[in-house]
Amino acid sequence: MQPVLQSCADQPIDSLENTVRPTAASGIRRWSGVRIAFAGAGVLILTGCAAPPGPDLSPRITADDARTHVAYLASDEMEGRMTASRGSHRAGRYIAQRLTDAGVAPAGDADTYFQAFPYQGRHGRNVIGMLPPTNGGDEYVLIGAHYDHIGFGEIESRASEDERDSIHNGADDNASGVAVVLELAAAYGAERSPDQAPRRGLIFALWSGEEVGVLGSTHFAANPCVPIEQIVAYLNFDMVGHLKDNTLVVQGVGSSPGWGRWLERRNIPAGFNLRTQEDPYQPTDIIALYPKGVPVLGFYTGLNDLYNTPHDDPDTLNYEGIERIASFAKSIIDSAAGDVARLAYFEMPMEKATSPDRPVSTGTIPDYASGDVPGMRISGVRKGGPAEQAGIQEGDIIVEFDGHKIGDATDYQEALAGAKPDVTVDIAVLRDGERLVLKITPVGR
């Protein structure tokens, strides 16, 4: 019997008929990019879309495989992967095929990999797969990253005026995070044996809708593929492509008293300069899962000048760094999935809103990797923007904005929420230990 795969090229964008549908089977193997399930003497061919494309990937975590994933997902063909767009549709098919190749079972709607959610009269789609628990367990570790980006610069583009309508490929944001999740899926898929498999199951989730308000992960949190209380932890990867000075930011450490011990122990062989942040209320997908009682951890290498510009391209990333981050994360997942005791959840009060509505922009790029520096350190400013015009420089630490004391990035976001466009205000910064008071005129978004 010859397998026949239908092309997805002409399928409607909201169709769920573009991924493999599993049927009951006693075993699964790879065969030319198609999963074949053996049931007794019969062979069931699981048909779906033609693989887009079919790279020769290793079951191990490698920089080369990460480069392959990013090169496809951040290509012009994906048109910036805006939620519910045709480019996002293509990217989702690629992700689903890679999960298929890894032997990860679909866990989305109607026995597919896709979980649809409404967005502006259309449907965005998460891509979800799972490896079941072993030894009769029913608990899971959730591993995820968002795969959407901002298309042709429709949302908060930092492009210059003459590039504003260009494709924003989003290699770091967040094809890099997707590459980590796909590498982890391949590695765990290759390990699934009674001697090697973790006790708990693993759910791999690639979210859409993050850039427009963490819509995909929020939808999953309300409509999980397993009861939410069976998810013991969530690890998120958002912008992990620019490892610099060996510094890795790990967010949400305060969501469980167990994270710190694991991070310290597992980092001994990994050797990162870890910058841990306690706050789980971060402007990324961990904020959707944490309020549901799930301990969360976010991996992040910080902002850079290419953020939300058409120049966030595959050739700018540190793939060896991505490989190291994926391997380090796997050691943490091994603990969360394999320890007999369930990871404890710690409820932190949300004293400050982390992502308020901001009617204005100052053109600053926060340095979230700056550790516990009082104030908000700036890693860069947008060329021609209000911050540059005010004289703010890379490395400056904002300590006051329009009379509001700034202790961290959250304080700054709150201060901006009350600002008005085209109204000049005082902004105080520390530069080489000296306090400077400058004038800045925010612009409307």
In the three-class reduction of DSSP (H, G, I as helix; E, B as strand; rest coil), residue 308 is classed as: coil
HSE (side-chain half, CA atoms, 13 Å) at 222: 7
Eight-class DSSP state of 213: T
> How far, in Å, CA of 441 to CA of 420, rounded?
9
Q: Could you tell me the CA-to-CA distances from 247 to 91, 262, 272, 325 in Å, in that order?
A: 29, 18, 6, 11
Reported residue count of the chain is: 445
| Closest listed residue to residue 179, CA positions, set 321, 296, 311 | 321
**pLDDT at position 191:** 86
> How far, in Å, CA of 160 to CA of 18, rounded?
37
Pairing relationship of beta strands 443-444 and 360-361 according to DSSP bridges: antiparallel
Whether cis (ω within 30° of 0) applies to the bond prior to 273 is: no
Contact 136, 197 (CB under 8 A): no
Extended strands (E) in 352-440? 360-361, 364-366, 376-381, 397-401, 404-405, 425-431, 434-440
Structure tokens at 16: 């769920």
Q: Could you tell me the CA-to-CA distances from 193 to 128, 196, 329 in Å, in that order?
A: 22, 5, 21
Taking 70 as the pLDDT cut, the residues of the chain under it are 1-55, 194-198, 350-359, 367-372, 445
Extended strands (E) in 283-375? 296-300, 360-361, 364-366
Extended strands (E) in 279-351? 296-300
Q: Could you tell me the CA-to-CA distances from 256 to 176, 251, 259, 299 in Å, in that order?
A: 26, 11, 6, 15
**pLDDT at position 179:** 98
> How far, in Å, CA of 33 to CA of 26, rounded?
19
Eight-class DSSP state of 149: B
Eight-class DSSP state of 429: E
Instruction: Give 400's strand partners.
Output: 405, 428
Please state the separation of Cα 434 from the chain's center in Å: 37
Enter the pTM of the model. Answer: 0.76
Residue ranges and CATH numbers for the domains of the chain are 52-338 (3.40.630.10), 360-444 (2.30.42.10)
